[in-house]
Amino acid sequence: MDSDSSVISSQPSSPDLLLSDEPTSGFSGAVSSTQSECGGELCGERGLQLRARDSLRLKDKKQMSESELQQLRLKINSRERKRMHDLNIAMDGLREVMPYAHGPSVRKLSKIATLLLARNYILMLTSSLEEMKRLVSEIYGGHHSTFHPPTACGSLAHAGAPLPGHPPPHPPHPVHHPIMAPAATSASLPGAGLSAVNSIRAPHSLLKSAGPASAPLPSGFQQWGGMPCPCTMCQVPPSHHVSSMATAGMSRLSSDTK
């Protein structure tokens, strides 16, 4: 028995908000800071007004007929369903751009795993970018005082072949693993800025179908050139750069493996 047979054509809950350049514009309402300010209770004159208004609404609902109430409930349920569907679509979109998330032998990431991995992925990319900027400014420090994209020198070939007046390119970096910070990667990149990268790893539990670390790498790993297992068990202990939230979340997730 499904109660969603009524198709309510309410306004779309604008999934494109997720693509907005201004996350604060459509997101501020989602932050429950207003509730926490009063300890979850409405307070002050504003709170009294809201309470009075909501109690009026309750009276209105009591005056509604049974069928009207049911119609309203169906409408609200439908909206909520649609909202959750939009959220899931956005979550799928996030999974699509996440490493690990592809391949027939890799099970779909859970929501919490997707969010935690995405966060760590962003941290790793940010750290890598910073490191790359630092290296470039070191190498070209003389006449390229600041980092600039290769096109700034006129051609993408700049990145591959030495140009007159430019020093030869340094050896290529190994392939970066998008989630973990493989020892090989960190060893190839000097500097202390990699500690954050080193702390980015994925737990075994995020790769439920991957099997033990000694097993052949699933297809999800193949794209990273057969890099070693990124799980917590196979990595160095986390550094203090990992926020407590991520650490807690990851430890919770990795506890699944026990």
Partner DNA sequence: TAGGCCATCTGGTCCT
Partner DNA sequence: AGGACCAGATGGCCTA
Is 20 a residue that touches DNA (CB under 7 A)? no
Per CB under 7 A, the list member of 71, 83, 147, 193 interacting with DNA is: 83
CA nearest neighbour of 123 among 241, 40, 255: 241
The whole-angstrom separation of Cα 123 and Cα 243 is: 11
Residues 227, 180 contacting (CB under 8 angstroms): yes
The whole-angstrom separation of Cα 106 and Cα 209 is: 6
Is 96 a residue that touches DNA (CB under 7 A)? no
Residue 248 Cβ vs DNA, minimum distance, rounded to whole Å: 14
Is 68 a residue that touches DNA (CB under 7 A)? no
Of how many residues is the chain composed? 258
Residues 134, 193 contacting (CB under 8 angstroms): yes
The whole-angstrom separation of Cα 27 and Cα 16 is: 12
Q: x/- contact string, 103-142, with DNA (CB under 7 A)?
A: -----x-xxxx-----------------------------
Is 32 a residue that touches DNA (CB under 7 A)? yes
Choices 83-91, 118-126, 132-140, 150-158 (CB under 7 A): range interacting with DNA: 83-91
Residue 54 or 138: which CB sits closer to DNA?
Answer: 54
Q: How far is CA 43 from CA 47, 54, 55, 56, 58, in A?
A: 5, 14, 16, 18, 20
The whole-angstrom separation of Cα 31 and Cα 16 is: 19
Residue 60 or 143: which CB sits closer to DNA?
Answer: 60
Question: Where does this chain bind DNA (CB under 7 A)?
Answer: 2-4, 10-13, 17, 26, 28-32, 34-35, 38, 42, 47, 50-51, 54, 56-58, 60, 73, 75-81, 83-85, 88, 108, 110-113, 205, 208-209, 253, 256
